[in-house]
């Protein structure tokens, strides 16, 4: 499918009365896409578009369709006739405003990935905006990274790394003692989610998402922990043995040095 056909798809979606705006995100906007990159499309609505209406539109452009998935947000996950995947995410525009406000105005931190949606809003390319509501949101939240948000992200996620009873390092240690590889993998993943959230917060950089995080840190962050790449390489190579505990201690120690700066 060529560019004109994709634009035709977006145009057809925009004709639905419920649609307020459409935006493109991810690597297709940043220019860092490759042959395996999909389209990340965000459709902002005032109310839900009927499932049948979406299916009628998408069937003209897609060879595979999964309509109304709810794994993360409300999504239609499809494959275009060109065999390129496209994920269409539907968001109530008023609810989305409240969600971003909780992060940027109320400074509420999450367990990892705190500022991803804020980054998504700031970096998306607006393709359609019926009454200018999406552009208004972009202007509203195009602000300097709040110091309180930075503090709250670091404080909440740092405690999860070690130092409290449910901290990830203790959970990883127990999982290694049990040789529970599934649990090790899960806890290390959560450890890294908080670790990267802290690094982006230290640098007052909104979180760019889950892909290519090591390179994203190198490209976007002026302040990185000592031995940043080496520590992560060692972690991945020793994740399922007792050396993992020592490496995690080193990762946290190096992270603390830049938190204290």
Are 169 and 187 a contacting pair, CB within 8 Å?
Answer: no
Cα–Cα distances (Å) from 131 to 19, 191, 237, in that order, read 10, 42, 52
Mark 26-45 as b/e (b = at least 16 C-beta within 10 Å): bbbeeeeeeeeebbbbbbbb
Interatomic CA distance for residues 34 and 240, integer angstroms? 32
Per-residue pLDDT of the chain (261 residues), as tens digits, is: 344 488 999 999 999 999 999 999 987 786 666 666 789 999 999 999 999 999 999 999 999 999 999 988 999 999 999 899 999 999 999 999 999 999 999 999 999 999 999 999 999 999 999 999 999 999 999 999 999 999 999 999 999 999 888 899 999 999 999 999 999 999 999 999 999 999 999 999 999 998 899 999 999 999 999 999 999 999 999 999 999 999 999 999 999 999 988
């Amino acid at each position: 499918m060529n560019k004109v056909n994709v634009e035709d798809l977006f145009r057809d979606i925009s004709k639905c009365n419920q649609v307020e705006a459409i935006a493109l995100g991810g690597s297709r906007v940043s220019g860092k896409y490759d042959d395996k990159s999909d389209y990340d499309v965000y459709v902002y609505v005032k109310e839900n578009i009927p499932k049948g209406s979406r299916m009628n539109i998408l069937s003209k452009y897609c060879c595979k369709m999964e309509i109304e998935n709810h794994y993360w947000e409300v999504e239609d996950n499809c494959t275009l006739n060109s065999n390129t995947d496209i994920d269409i995410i539907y968001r109530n525009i008023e609810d989305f405003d409240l969600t971003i406000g909780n992060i940027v105005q109320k400074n509420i931190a999450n367990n990892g990935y705190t500022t991803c949606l804020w980054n998504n809003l700031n970096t998306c390319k607006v393709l359609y905006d019926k009454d200018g509501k999406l552009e208004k949101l972009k202007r509203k939240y195009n602000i300097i990274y709040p110091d309180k948000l930075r503090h709250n992200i670091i404080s909440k996620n740092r405690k999860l790394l070690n130092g409290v009873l449910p901290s990830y390092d203790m959970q990883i240690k127990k999982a290694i003692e049990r040789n529970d590889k599934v649990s090790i993998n899960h806890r290390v993943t959560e450890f890294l989610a908080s670790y990267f959230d802290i690094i982006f917060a230290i640098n007052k950089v909104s979180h760019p998402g889950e892909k290519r995080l090591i390179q994203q840190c190198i490209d976007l962050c002026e302040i990185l922990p000592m031995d940043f790449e080496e520590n992560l390489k060692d972690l991945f190579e020793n994740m399922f043995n007792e050396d993992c505990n020592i490496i995690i201690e080193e990762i946290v120690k190096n992270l603390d040095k830049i938190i204290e700066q």
